[in-house]
Amino acid sequence: MDMFADLAFYLVAIVILVAILASAVKILREYERGVVFTLGRFTGVKGPGLILLVPYVQQMIRVDLRTRVLDVPSQDVISHDNVSVRVSAVIYFRVIDPEKSTIQVEDFMMATSQLAQTTLRSVLGKHDLDEMLAERDRLNSDIQEILDTQTDAWGIKVATVEIKHVDINESMIRAIARQAEAERERRAKVINAEGEQQAAAKLLEAAEILARQPEAMQLRYLSTLNVIASEKTSTILFPFPMELGNLMAIKPK
């Protein structure tokens, strides 16, 4: 009976020892860091590799340093020109200071998500709809810069912000289509007017040249007669200038 009691005692002691060793020995991967607290006070950041802790005296919180992807839910935004749109985005960030990300903020994932939503609405609300659709790179850069500045106190580095979707209601889509069609018509009219202006300038230049050289006008007249003569589909009456007849009547001596 005593032997079984001793065996049970040794088994319990071994289990307790294994539990103590398990709580004292920690292994951190290359992308992990351990924020160590001794009796509740911050005493340092350790890792990666094998970490030894004093059981029940020291505690460690693991922090992942890899880049995280945060999907920002769709936000209702009123643009500067009073157009209602729904905008969604994605943010890439990572922890660069494990101490700050653990001590300065309770849940940096939630805090970054909420900050991203409010910043997205604030920044996009200052711009017109056309800018949201055509200048996403500049807006992405503005949002990223604001988020990176505000999350620096939490030990967070915001690397990239990308606006994924800008959803517009059907009536606004039709209005944008009409606006684009009107813009194309305007450009076509401008191009046509510029063509007419250039053609008129060339005609004026040709008229000035013909006015300085009457013989050139007569040669042009003969050339026009040659072109008309090649047309066999109809009969055309063309006036014959008297000056050209007189010129042709002159015989060389």
Question: Mind listing the pLDDT tens digit for each residue in 80-138?
Answer: 888 888 899 999 999 999 999 999 999 999 999 999 999 999 999 898 888 888 888 99
Q: Which has more pLDDT, 15 or 215? A: 15
Question: Is residue 251 predicted with pLDDT exceeding 70?
Answer: no
Give the total number of structural domains in the chain.
Answer: 3
Q: What does the pLDDT average to over 29-39?
A: 94
Of the residues 42, 64, 86, the one at which a domain ends: 64
**CA distance linking residue 236 with residue 232, whole number of Å:** 10
Extract the tokens encoding 181.
């069609």
Question: Amino acid letter at 86?
Answer: R
Q: What does the pLDDT average to over 69-83?
A: 88
One domain, residues 88 and 60: no
C-alpha 157: how far from its chain's center? 19
Are 55 and 20 in contact, with CB atoms under 8 Å apart? yes
One domain, residues 72 and 169: yes
Residue 169 in any domain: the answer is: yes
One domain, residues 54 and 75: no
> Could you give the angle at the alpha carbon of 154 between the alpha carbons of 90 and 30, nearest 5°?
80
Q: Which has more pLDDT, 249 or 174? A: 174
Residue 183 in any domain: the answer is: no
Structural domain harbouring 228: 213-253
One domain, residues 100 and 127: yes
Q: Which of 108-122, 145-159, 184-198, 228-242 has the lowest mean pLDDT?
A: 228-242
**CA distance linking residue 250 with residue 52, whole number of Å:** 122
Question: Is residue 42 predicted with pLDDT exceeding 50?
Answer: yes
Residue 26 in any domain: the answer is: yes
Are 81 and 128 in contact, with CB atoms under 8 Å apart? yes
Residue 192 in any domain: the answer is: no
One domain, residues 125 and 153: yes
Are 148 and 166 in contact, with CB atoms under 8 Å apart? no
User: Cα dist. 242→99, 208, 225, 230 in Å?
Assistant: 104, 22, 15, 23
